[in-house]
Chain A
Amino acid sequence: MNIKSSLSLAFLFTCAVFQQLHAQEDVVYLKNNSKKIGKVVSISQDKVEFQPSADAKSEKILKSELELILFENGSYLTLPSDFKGIEGPVENRHSEDWILTKEERIVECVIENAETNLLKVSAMGDSGKKDFSIPKSDIAGILFANGKKQLLGSSPALVAEILRKKQVQAPLEFLRKYEAKKEQAKKAFDGKLELDRVSQEQLQKRGLQKVDDLGKYLNLVANKSTEAAVSSKAVDQAVALFLSDSSIVETKRPNGERKQEYVRNYLTKLRLLKYSKVVIAWSDISYVSNLRKGPDGNYYGVISIQQKFTGYIDNKPVFADVTTKNIEVVLKTYRKEVDGESLELWDVFLNNIGISESKS
């Protein structure tokens, strides 16, 4: 209940890393379970020459130390092998996406969405195209036709073994039990899809932290004693808490008239208020809704919180009101390249802010 006291925990909440995707580069897997990402520049009888990046010095690795090479074009090479081409064997390229099963089979299908823990797949059935939802925990890996790959924690040795055997399983034989039925889909996506209670609470805290940060910036921006440069920077920092500049803030004038402004305009006008000092405070108690998945893949929720606005002239309070603010929060994913790997990160942003009636 004492939400503010738990806000400090939110500082500790770093953006969740849900999945690792390899960007389209060659990936060399060693027998010691490590890997190197970059470009294979030559393959000789007993060595593979490898360049981690365009401006880096190439290094040579003994073939005997290698388990597997996954090429950026979707081809692969399991070791040992006498193959010497640097783009992988042509016959190992595949025009369909491959699911590698834990039963060491390959299932050909079309991956519709691999960005969450529930893999969305389509394949042709007797009566046309069918959709399937497969928990990633049920499979060993994914090799996309375009060269992307997700090994999902499987060892390179297991993946190499599956590719060596190359036992292709009829898609429906594997996928049948994962068919996405209409009613099941609605149940499964009951606003909590892939977000367990712990994740919900962490994300809610992150949202509340952003609201708290917004309050600090609002106080800075609105106070006449704040230097122009500091105030200007605070506006930028406040806007950065929002999903975009086009987020809308609703305000209400003392005569009851409501106005809607883009967030940057709202903040700029806040600087022009007649008060010499403004204190904006949030209540300790707030309501945070569940997060619901939107068509863009982001999750949307609302934080309802009381805001007390007090305007001072010559250090005397001349206006005060308490309003309930309904603040949309958006859990948004974004990608970040780290050491040649494309990491999928999540963060919470504020969006439109509406108000309920003033009560005092």
Chain B
Amino acid sequence: MRIFCAGFLVFLLLGKAQGQGLNSKIGPFQNAEFAFEVKTIDEFIERFNNDQYTLIRQYMEEKFPKKKLTRLDLIRTLFNYDDPLWSKEDALEFSNYVLDQKGEKFLDFYSDTWYAQAECLVKYKGLPKKVNITLQVFVSDRTGAAKWVICGARAPFLDFSNRIDSKKFLNPISHATDFIGLRKAMEDKVFLKNYLSEDFQESHLNKYLAALASGDIVFEQISSITYHFLSIDNWLFTVKEYSRPGKNSGWLIQSLSKRTQSEKADYLKNNLFCDH
């Protein structure tokens, strides 16, 4: 575990020596910090995959030609070290797993096993609310063209009431009266779930889209984004943007945990709210 952090600190110090003369106020650009900062998720994936053309590699080769960057060095730069939500043990095990000589693991931008979750501010009937929208990359098999598509949404304020009253139902002879009780059931909004099948599953995305279409929801802006990577077997990690001075900044691993396939399926449903 110590090795995991110690190596990273040495790496940071190498970069720091270069930037010490720079004035941080209205002075020169913070080029060293900029080179280290993970500026986009594209750059995160490039570093994770040890891409030979990624900016940090070019920068280090120019400034510190004797320092040979390994893939492990690059992966270490991808963790958030300020109040992390991952353990050093997990980070070390994860790095070893990704770098396994028998089969290194890489991230694929075009994979359908990573997601962006945008926390959005909306107005619902004039009142400020939050909605989580989940997106993923869709690739056309025919043309290879890619685009981000919405695959899930969660607006808790649109949830149906879960209240159950065993006395409320449409009796088994309702058909004989041409479902005369249906009108009363539809007015009984708090107990609507009583009138549904037990295996009914509500689609959060459908509810959000319906509210958007009716004008009840008006989109305002995105307040934050988290990327969720489920693509590495047995592991799940999230990436968030840490905007702060210093070299450990930008899009960094926020959390890292071991997850089985079934746990990932639950995560997809319960955390990312994807309908598929």
B43 interfacial by beta-carbon distance below 8 Å: yes
Complex contact B43–A193 (CB within 8 A): no
B interface list, Cβ under 8 A from A = 24-26, 29-31, 33-35, 37, 39-40, 42-43, 46, 53, 55, 58-59, 61-62, 108-110, 139-147, 221, 241, 243-245, 250
With a CB–CB cut-off of 8 A, which chain B residues contact A295?
140, 143, 145, 147
With a CB–CB cut-off of 8 A, which chain A residues contact B144?
185-186, 188-189, 193, 293
Complex contact B243–A356 (CB within 8 A): yes
Q: A182-B141, A293-B143, A295-B147 are in contact. Are A285 and B31 (CB under 8 A)?
A: yes
A interface list, Cβ under 8 A from B = 1, 112-113, 120, 131, 180, 182, 185-186, 188-191, 193, 197, 258, 283-285, 287, 289-290, 292-297, 302, 304, 306, 308, 310, 317, 320, 322, 324, 326, 356-357, 359-360
With a CB–CB cut-off of 8 A, which chain A residues contact B34?
283, 285, 306, 324
Complex contact B55–A189 (CB within 8 A): no
CB distance from A328 to the nearest CB of B (A): 11
Q: List 8 A-B contacts (CB under 8 A).
A: A186-B144, A188-B144, A287-B55, A289-B43, A289-B46, A295-B143, A357-B244, A359-B30
Q: A356-B39, A359-B245 are in contact. Are A191 and B25 (CB under 8 A)?
A: no
Complex contact A186–B142 (CB within 8 A): no
CB-CB nearest in chain B for A288: B55
Complex contact B110–A189 (CB within 8 A): yes
CB distance from A143 to the nearest CB of B (A): 23
Cα separation A229 to B193 with both chains bound (whole Å):
67
With a CB–CB cut-off of 8 A, which chain A residues contact B147?
294-295
CB distance from A205 to the nearest CB of B (A): 14
Complex contact B40–A283 (CB within 8 A): no
Q: A293-B145, A317-B26 are in contact. Are A287 and B40 (CB under 8 A)?
A: yes
Cα separation A152 to B145 with both chains bound (whole Å):
25
Complex contact B40–A360 (CB within 8 A): no
Cα separation A258 to B220 with both chains bound (whole Å):
12
Question: Among B24, B108, B110, which residue has the most Cβ atoms of chain A within 10 A?
Answer: B110
CB-CB nearest in chain A for B109: A191
CB distance from A125 to the nearest CB of B (A): 15
CB-CB nearest in chain A for B60: A1
Complex contact B40–A289 (CB within 8 A): yes
Cα separation A306 to B28 with both chains bound (whole Å):
11
Q: Which of B30, B61, B141, B250 contacts A180 (CB 8 A)?
A: B141
CB-CB nearest in chain B for A259: B221
With a CB–CB cut-off of 8 A, which chain B residues contact A185?
139, 141-142, 144
Q: A258-B221, A359-B33 are in contact. Are A289 and B110 (CB under 8 A)?
A: no
Cα separation A342 to B275 with both chains bound (whole Å):
46
